Structure 1
Amino acid sequence: MSERALVTTARRIVVKVGSSSLTTASGGIDPARVSDLVDVLAAVRGRGAEVVLVSSGAIAAGLAPLRLRKRPRGLAAQQAAASVGQGLLVHRYTEELARHGLTAGQVLLTLDDVTRRSHYRNAHQTFTKLLELGVIPIVNENDTVATTEIRFGDNDRLAALVAHLVHADLLVLLSDVDGLYDGPPSRPGTQLVPDVRGEADLTGVTLGSVGAAGVGTGGMATKVEAASIATGSGIPVVLTSADRAAAAIAGEQVGTLFHATGKRRPTRLLWLRHATDGKGALVLDHGAVRAVVERRASLLAAGITGVRGDFTAGDPVDLQDPDGVVVGRGLVNFDAAEIPSLQGRSSKELKRELGAGYEREVIHRDDLVIL
């Protein structure tokens, strides 16, 4: 069976398209590009597969109506552009999908929706119901109400997390470049990398940055990172240009295929690894590092030598070795203020002096990922 057969047999596909693939150089929506993309999505639905679209372009689409010549740097101006552009973008998708008898559903996500477990469950239920009803969800970050800099790590990472969230069989990343090259595509002698089966295939590959048009936020490095998130969770990824989307989804040898390298992980571990930052850190002795990293054991108070930062029970915290290198991240069971009185002491001792509530692990192995 052809390696690309996994593309044509995928029953649930997440497609991500970047701003530069949807808009004109001046920043407005290009109707022809949107129409072509929707034709591809309709073809996927026509063969019986479900599709979720993660679409950038809200801020870019808002530039022309606001008479802005380029993407603004200020957060307030970005939010204003997103507010204007998101409606225009979804309206265009709605009209184009209607040509095929299909219905669009807007889903705007914030970082909380993939970092807080209760939000994550709600988002999963929403997607499930939309797909049951035959709707094509159009997903974007909720830029308008974001309270931090508008970068989810960009929509490439968002797409990878959505692919896991909806239990997708395939993630398709569409860009203005037709695949991963081993250097700048404009440089003579640069070659397309057709398959990536692991980190070794990326050795010597030079990854670019934001395109010259200045309407997007992510370069090739973010796409490779997104592919790593998805493939590490058992989801293969095809990376190609928007104008080759139809060929890619038809299983033709275009773009770059990132092969799955891992298996599907519990949702909480995926967001813990890829969608959170440590609120503080616990410093471990060498024995605790070996236990956590090599034996995948829980972290006990006896192996902790220091605490950094201010966090509360339930927060994600980084685990550092004696040299300060981060080796893992986990959900801590105690507040930062409690740790100094616990560190270096055995569970039995803590139980005897402080009560049974202090005998438990500082971080349980089920709430811990190795980085």
Structure 2
Amino acid sequence: MTEPRDAIRTARRVVVKIGSSSITAPQGGVDLYRLQALTGVIAKRSLQGDQVLLVSSGAIAAGMTSLGLTKRPKDLATQQAAASAGQGGLMAAYTNALKLHGLNAGQVLLTADDMHRRSHYVNASRTLEKLLELEIVPIINENDTVATDEIRFGDNDRLAALVAHLVNADALILLTDVDALYDGHPRTPGTTRIPVVSSMEEITGVDISATGSAVGTGGMVTKVAAAQLATAEGIAVLLTSAEQAVQALAGEDVGTLFLPTGRKRRARSRWLAHASSVNGRLVLDAGAVEAVVQRQTSLLPVGVTRVEGMFRSGDTVDLCDPSGAVIARGLVSYDSTELTRVVGRRLDTATASARSRGGSAVAARTVIRRDDLVVL
């Protein structure tokens, strides 16, 4: 009989995310002992023939000592300076630690823009695939030195989930400073560990509002959100502490296991559903919703009732039902101004309708092709 944690034990490709507080000291700087313990665990799994990618926070915390800081800076410019000062030392520590096990490390720095843009997304995927093919352990982090508030991931938990999508991972392990998700505050008497989560509805009433550590940015909210993002694409997620990394990667009963809630989709669909940047919304009538969701057809102008936002042909837009709930996402073939002139029209009357409303004729065509659309 298959056990739930076999999903972790037998995973051939694993993404491991480690938080800042688990590899750095509270006042900043890399904790070499803890970092070497982590790389030892990763090396063991890698030397067994599995592929492991590490998404590591810690660049800003590692650079704090160089800048004479004892608390994580709050302004973006100082964060970028700290990341610049710390990223090299953090990577050197990983490189040296992995070499002790006969493994090489490769640094990959990403921004949210690399995920949003399809060409960048594909290039990042190719790079990671080549590193794995060459048996190099990818060490991935957000490129904090150039990221701005507008194009940040926000936390490395989300980045880890998107990397798991990017490489079609079998499992994602989130290592943090707490050992599991609990049904209440961990320090409150009577609270118990939640060993397995089969669906997000099971933890609707669980308080996950606790904030992260002094040197990190995440908290339980970001970790549960990352788990939801990954499990939706058929990826098992284990949340536990860095101290239990050995047991976690061995598939033992530690932490909280989030079971997959969806099936794995093709790479293009994963990007469209979770990583692309949405630039507008199309509200559909009931018939179009049924056609898109149930019959999985392309979207035609006749099914669109309202256009919201400004977008260009080729941009990503959300498709909404009459109540405004998002039901799908796709790459639109019209500019927003063009589409506004043909909404609700059949293809054989759309061009004539556009002429009658003034302006140049709009070539009647499918709004979103089925191959460019994903149901959420």
Q: Is the 8 A contact 1:71 1:214 kept in 2?
A: yes
Question: Aligned with 2:251: secondary structure?
Answer: coil
Larger deviation, residues 48-57 vs 225-234: 225-234
Aligned equivalent of 2:224: 224
Q: Helix, strand or coil: the match of 1:144?
A: coil
CA distance in 2 between counterparts of 1:97 and 1:79 reads 26
The alignment status of 1:69 with 2:70, answered yes or no, reads yes
Segments of 5+ residues of structure 1 without an aligned counterpart are none
Deviation string for 1:147-174 (max 9, x for gaps)?
3346414111111111122222211110
- Residue 368 of structure 2 corresponds to 363
Cα deviation 1:215-265 (Å, max 9, x = unaligned): 211111211121122222121111110000001111211111111222211
Structure 1 stretch 285-294 or stretch 260-269: which is displaced more? 285-294
Question: Are the equivalent residues in 1 in contact too, given 2:112–2:152 (CA < 8 A)?
Answer: no
Q: TM-score, normalised by structure 1?
A: 0.93
Alpha-carbon distance in 1 for matches of 2:306, 2:150: 31
Is 1:210–1:216's contact at 8 Å kept on the other side of the alignment? no
Q: 2:131 matched to which residue of 1?
A: 130
Residues 1:95 and 2:96 are matched in the alignment: yes
Q: For the residues of structure 2 that align with 1:16 and 1:164, how far apart are their CA atoms?
A: 14
* Corresponding residue of 1:112: 113
8 Å Cα contact 2:306-2:340 kept in structure 1:
yes
Letter in 2 for 1:285: D
Q: What letter matches 1:216 in structure 2?
A: G
Runs of 4+ in 1 over 6 A off after TM superposition: 352-357
Taking structure 2 as the reference length, what is the TM-score of the superposition? 0.92
Q: How far apart are the structure 1 equivalents of 2:288 and 2:267?
A: 26
- Residues 164-189 of structure 1: per-residue CA shift (max 9 Å, x gap): 22222211110111111112111111
- Counterpart of 1:237 in structure 2 is 237
Matched residues in 1 for 2:192 and 2:303: separation?
Answer: 49
1:319-338 equivalent positions in 2, closer than 5 A: 319-338=319-338
Native 8 Å contact 2:116 2:277 kept in 1? no
1:103: Cα distance to partner?
Answer: 0.7
Distance 1:179 1:34 in 2: 21
**SS of match in other structure, 1:342:** coil
What displacement does 1:357 show? 8.0
- Deviation string 1:258-316 (CA, Å, 9 cap, x unpaired) is 11222211223222222234212222233323333343332211122222221111111
Secondary structure at the aligned position of 2:305 is classed as strand
Aligned to 1:300: 300
Change (3 A) 1:190 1:131: same
CA distance in 1, matches of 2:364, 2:343: 12
Note the residue ranges of structure 2 that are not aligned, 5 or more in a row. Answer: 356-360
> Distance in 2 between the 1:219 and 1:295 partners?
40
Equivalent residue for 2:15? 14
Secondary structure of 1:245's aligned partner: helix
Deviation of the 1:353 alpha carbon: 7.0
Q: Which amino acid aligns with 1:366?
A: D
Amino acid at match of 2:367: V
How many residue pairs were aligned? 370
SS in structure 1 of the partner of residue 145 of structure 2: helix
Asked whether the equivalents of residues 64 and 72 of structure 2 are also in contact (C-alpha less than 8 Å), the reply is yes
- Over the matched positions of the two proteins, sequence identity in percent amounts to 57
| Equivalent residues in 2 for 1:1-371, closer than 5 Å | 1-149=2-150, 151-211=152-212, 213-350=213-350, 358-371=363-376
Cα shift at 1:369:
2.9
- Indicate conservation of the 8 Å contact 1:279/1:309, yes or no: yes
Write the distance in 1 (CA, Å) between the matches of 2:217 and 2:41. 24
Partner amino acid, structure 1, of 2:232: G
2:358 maps to: none
Amino acid at match of 1:359: A
* Deviation of 1:112 (Å): 2.5
SS at match of 2:26: coil
RMSD: 2.1
Q: Deviations over 1:325-359 (max 9, x none)?
A: 33332211111111121111101213667799833
- Of residues 319-328 and 216-225 in structure 1, the stretch that sits farther from structure 2 once superposed is 319-328
Contact 1:184 1:208 in 2 (8 A): no
